[in-house]
């Protein structure tokens, strides 16, 4: 009989599911890690709801690090941040293959295995988005001096972005807000950053931005317009390098609402 483990959409949730699959001595060929409820039930399958357990997850984490190395562990983390629904099963089966000891060298290099290859694909997609957003993210300063940046990524990449900006702005109070997931990366000046999921947390339209911030934004838009060479515009190429889903949150592509309201 197939066994399906329904896990929370988090690293701790999936790692707990992997731990339980081994602890219960499940047949790995007929055991599946499902991230969240999908509403599709299989006949003749046993469903188990997995409660995230930090101790179990940490044991899986330490096993991955000791057996496969830090680079492979990082790849698993990026893969589990993906928006794709098969990520839990891909990571689970890649771990199973690695622990069988069939491969020589680094596990992540064995792309001939479909599960390892799938983990690589998911990791690359999430990693690329996180890398792009390090450059595309735009902070805006509120009247209280807090830097607020809003994004709408496909993948759950804010936890991978926070170390970069915490290192770059150690003396600043800043927030990176994932609008789709209602997830906040919060950094207080001189303190460690942390993540918070808030259903009714502050959003851009609720915040008041300083007059200096608005002036700087307008100057930046003016600069972007002036350096544009109209004869060399290529919207198709621009969309390839800077998709619309990024432009929605970038100051240079957003009209000055305050100015437009005053001219009506």
Do 75 and 169 fall within a single domain? no
Q: How many domains does the chain have?
A: 2
pLDDT block averages, 10 residues each, the chain of length 264: 93 97 95 85 87 97 95 96 96 95 84 95 96 94 93 96 97 96 96 93 86 86 80 75 82 62 38
Q: Is residue 259 part of a domain?
A: no
Q: Answer yes or no: is 257 within a domain.
A: no
Residue 165's pLDDT is: 97
User: Global pTM?
Assistant: 0.85
Whether 241 and 183 map to the same domain: the answer is: yes
pLDDT of 7: 96
Whole-number pLDDT of residue 85: 92
Which of 113, 129, 145 finishes a domain?
Answer: 129
- Token pair recorded at residue 40: 């599709």
Residue 121 sits in the same domain as residue 17: yes
- Residue 202 within any structural domain of the chain: yes
Residue 258 domain flag:
no
In a domain, 200, yes or no: yes
Q: What are phi and psi of 47, to 5 degrees?
A: -105, 135
Tell me which of 129, 159, 186 is where a domain ends: 129
Same-domain pairing of 9 and 118: yes
**What is the Cβ-side half-sphere exposure of residue 187, based on CA atoms within 13 angstroms?**
24
CA-based nearest residue to 76, from 3, 62, 176: 62
pLDDT score at 226: 77
Q: Which residue segment(s) compose the domain that 155 sits in?
A: 137-248
| Tens of pLDDT, residues 182-203 | 999 999 999 999 999 998 888 8
59/81 Cα distance (integer angstroms): 20
Taking only the tens place, the pLDDT of each residue in 120-163 is: 999 999 999 999 999 999 999 999 999 999 999 999 999 999 99
């Amino acid at each position: 009989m197939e066994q399906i483990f329904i896990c929370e959409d988090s690293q701790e949730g999936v790692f707990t599911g992997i731990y339980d699959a081994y602890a219960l001595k499940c047949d790995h060929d007929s055991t599946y890690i499902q991230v969240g409820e999908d509403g599709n039930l299989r006949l003749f399958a046993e469903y188990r709801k997995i409660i995230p357990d930090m101790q179990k997850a940490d044991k899986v984490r330490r096993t991955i690090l000791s057996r496969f190395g830090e680079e492979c562990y990082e790849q698993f983390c990026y893969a589990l941040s993906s928006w794709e629904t098969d990520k839990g099963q891909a990571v689970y089966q890649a771990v199973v293959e690695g622990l069988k000891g069939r491969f020589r060298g680094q596990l992540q290099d064995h792309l001939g295995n479909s599960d390892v290859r799938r983990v690589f694909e998911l990791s690359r997609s999430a990693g690329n988005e996180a890398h792009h957003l390090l450059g595309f993210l735009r902070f805006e300063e509120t009247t209280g001096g807090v830097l607020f940046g809003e994004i709408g990524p496909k993948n759950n990449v804010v936890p991978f972005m926070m170390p970069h900006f915490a290192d770059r702005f150690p003396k600043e109070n800043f927030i990176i807000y994932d609008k789709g997931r209602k997830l906040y990366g919060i950094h207080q000046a001189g303190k460690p950053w942390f993540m918070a999921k808030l259903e009714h947390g502050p959003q851009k339209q609720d915040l008041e931005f300083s007059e200096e911030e608005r002036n700087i934004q307008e100057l930046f838009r003016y600069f972007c317009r002036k350096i544009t060479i109209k004869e060399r515009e290529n919207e198709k190429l621009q969309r390839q390098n800077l998709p619309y889903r990024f432009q929605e949150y970038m100051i240079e592509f957003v009209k000055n609402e305050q100015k437009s309201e005053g001219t009506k």
